Chains A and B, each alone.
Chain A
Amino acid sequence: MTSPAIHIQGLRKTYVVSEREAGVKATLQSLVHRNTEEVPAVDGISFDLEPGEVVGFLGPNGAGKTTTLKCLSGLLHPTAGEVTVLGYHPWKRGKAFLRQITLVMGQRNQLVWDIPPLDSFELNRAIYRIPLSDYRRMLDELTELLDLGPLLRKPVRNLSLGERMKCEIAAALLHRPQVVFLDEPTIGLDVTMQRRIRSFIAEYNRRFGATVLLTSHYMADVVALCRRVVVIHHGRLLFDGELSRLVQDFTAHKTIVVQLEDTRANLRSYGDVISQDEGQYTLRVPKADTARITGRLLADLPVIDLLVEDPPIEEVIEVVFAQELR
């Protein structure tokens, strides 16, 4: 029984926020006394990752994903609980620990703007003290896997967002980290590039056996890469298990958004009415019944507009949350 690559037990992280109301009086008051409040970003979570696992970390904005990631990479000191990564305490920020991890954040540039990525790579080589031969070998592999050839010598500012992201990821992996933290790596990218990056991550994990913790807004990222997902909401774990189980819930429903003239129609016979606002009704229906119910709606009612879509992730979380309560 190998020890887990990542071990989290009862992790809590609260931070202190100061508030101030508007108006001159409050402004003057704030000079003397600041109103502070303690906000729990992460409120007691526990899970482990075995070496080589690729786990998806899901949750809406503000759920605590980024805070957890920062605790794992040593950027934040936990308020309570136990965290170890590869046997190290991340918050000690030991050099040996830092050399084995990497953090990639979507839409955040670490590459130096005005020069070709290759020179930023050289920087990382110096920072991580990568032996020349290892560096060259890794660079070749990454170039092949990510199709970096024509990009390496163009200044970063001349690259498209997707090309930049590929180079950012490559730069982050040059030192062959054993643990990879990816925070929204595909955000803002077009669909083709998202797919490219997903397949790269899968291939990287296969080739080098790295443990990957991936946070994302997009179910598609998680579906492509992760057998297991951990769902977090309001700082608490809602779900930790096989993706197939979560996917079952997720794809069990579809959302139909209908626009009618009548602002007070009763559509309960068609499905769960999630919201009703100025003639726009949002219904949740079982996936299998989508076509049938859509047909009924169009036949029965004077529909102005109709849209069928997957439920947003926030809703999935609500569903999971509701399920957990049961």
Chain B
Amino acid sequence: MQTRQILPLLILALVMTFGAVGSSAATATVTIRVEGMRCGNCAASITKNLKVTAGVEDVRVSFEKTEAWIKFDDQKITVAKLREVINGTGFKAVEEKASGD
């Protein structure tokens, strides 16, 4: 009787644990070097366009370092697509230092 009561709770706990691991595994970060950022104020478009892209969770663009740091869901979007978005703003995404979280 007691085992019957505990079993569904155990299954639920297992599902929640693996679910949480699965979702965190989908999150990745990448730092992409961007060419052409001569004006800090026009770099705002990179942030804006990345933020409205599905799968992008956070964006920080540094005019000083000429790079964009992006936190994204790698199950929804690829680094290649992120580069495309940056290129679409008129700048040039040249290389990246990928790092999974």
Q: Do A and B bind each other?
A: no
Chain B interface (Cβ < 8 Å from any Cβ of A): none
Chain A interface (Cβ < 8 Å from any Cβ of B): none
